[in-house]
Chains A and B, each alone.
Chain A
């Protein structure tokens, strides 16, 4: 029973939504709107799950004094602190919460994102080796596209930007479309497996 009821819900709702895709009627769209209000109502409860897990993991770490438990203290302090600040002073512009968001969260996010530049450089360095004929083609294509993106490209040859955009528009797109097609089919297949109850790992555990 523990398995069958959720499975039944998935199958029934799954088919209803599959039908919804083909039926534009008002009945169908009203049903969809109704469903969405429920989603909105349910979703806040999920936050609780996250917070509970976070608290459990870190409190155990602190209790057992596992290596680096101090980090967990910082995490817990940040969790409680940010929450408390938000509850006490609100989250409007000008409150300590907003200040934390602007001066801690935003710059830290930006920092992590900008690391990408460095990582891309080192990844490119490692990856682009003319190990084989295919790798050589990849290497040359990459160099042309890189040059095509910057002003110096056109100085070297007026063809570089053109070839660069050709590479992006033709081989790149061809490969992408191919992958996208496979992904689309793969998704459909997985969805179908879920609908038919073949795939049920999402219910927890194996088959």
Chain B
């Protein structure tokens, strides 16, 4: 460059990326330490999962299968959605099954169940069953066999009990009853459920994926092959909100006591509802929304950087024009 004096904008142009890293780090850490309220906008793919699960409420002949296909590296995004969906099921008396095909996922699955169970009087074998870890090699065979008989396919649950004899299985046989599968993964593993469980047996499939993978799945959402999708932390935050607004909704009864009065999903209500972060006592129930604060700040920071970079670009372009 001809001129020696470097303006602010030019310096912004050639900014060392380490400064960006620093700002991103701060933008993420600070909102975690100082939580604030923000309003999560609920998108249709999340709504659809919620509606589907909610339509099973109180029924003993419907169940949801949660398949955990991820390890700790993507836990930050996927764990809050798992807890939120499990809470939804426990709150609305929906039978839930959990299964994983990766050994790394097993501890995460147990942990999610432990966290979600808090505050609910749910019993393994009656309200939910943890099928435990099954080897990846039998993923597809097991998935196909479930189309016939779930109890036969998984044989035993995590506690070594024969699944067939469990109370929860009384009215549940195959995908006709276990009508929704939600797969949590940071990869395309969930698509196998579409190829086999959906195409062959007509099961509904939904995904919980990391934000990076979300864009890949819009095709399946549009074609209706996916019932719904939770994309990254945002999807998790949306689901948390849906659970709080509808499933765990409480109303004052005639004696003035707050009593659980779960509501049906309604777009009209979600538009108006506003939940204060400080009203939610259990931190595990709002992890995603706190995380969303960090994400908001980080997004704004990146936008600011982009804007600054562009201004710098224009300024230096004008200068070069002038010089030439």
Contact = CB atoms under 8 A, between A and B. Distances in A.
Q: Do chains A and B touch in the complex (CB under 8 A)?
A: yes
Interface of A: 40, 101-102, 106-107, 109-110, 112-114, 116-118, 121-122, 124-126, 128-131, 139, 142-143, 146-155, 161, 165, 168-169, 172-173, 176-177, 180
15 contacts: A40-B137, A106-B104, A110-B73, A118-B25, A122-B17, A125-B15, A128-B310, A139-B310, A146-B302, A150-B38, A150-B292, A150-B296, A153-B41, A172-B215, A177-B219
Nearest to B15: A125
B72 A110 contact: yes
Nearest to B16: A122
B319 to A, nearest CB: 16
A113 B302 contact: no
A107 B211 CA distance: 20
Contacts of A180: 219
B296 A151 contact: yes
A109 B72 contact: yes
A106 B20 contact: no
B39 A155 contact: yes
B305 interface: yes
A141 to B, nearest CB: 12
Contacts of B303: 143, 146-147
Contacts of B43: 161, 165
A110 to B, nearest CB: 4
A81 B305 CA distance: 46
Contact of A125 (B72, B216, B305): B305
Contact of A173 (B44, B73, B222, B293): B222
Given A139-B306, A155-B39, 18 more contacts: A109-B73, A118-B25, A121-B301, A122-B20, A128-B310, A131-B313, A149-B234, A150-B296, A150-B299, A151-B296, A152-B296, A152-B300, A165-B43, A168-B215, A172-B218, A173-B219, A177-B219, A180-B219
A151 B43 CA distance: 12
A173 to B, nearest CB: 5
Contact of A152 (B25, B38, B71, B76): B38
B67 interface: no
Contacts of B305: 121, 124-125
Contacts of A122: 17, 20-21
A108 to B, nearest CB: 9
Nearest to A111: B73
B218 A124 contact: no
B295 interface: yes
B310 A121 contact: no
Given A106-B72, A154-B41, A169 B24 contact: no
A173 B214 CA distance: 12
A67 B298 CA distance: 40
A121 B234 contact: no
Nearest to B308: A125
Nearest to B40: A151
Contacts of B76: 114
B28 interface: yes
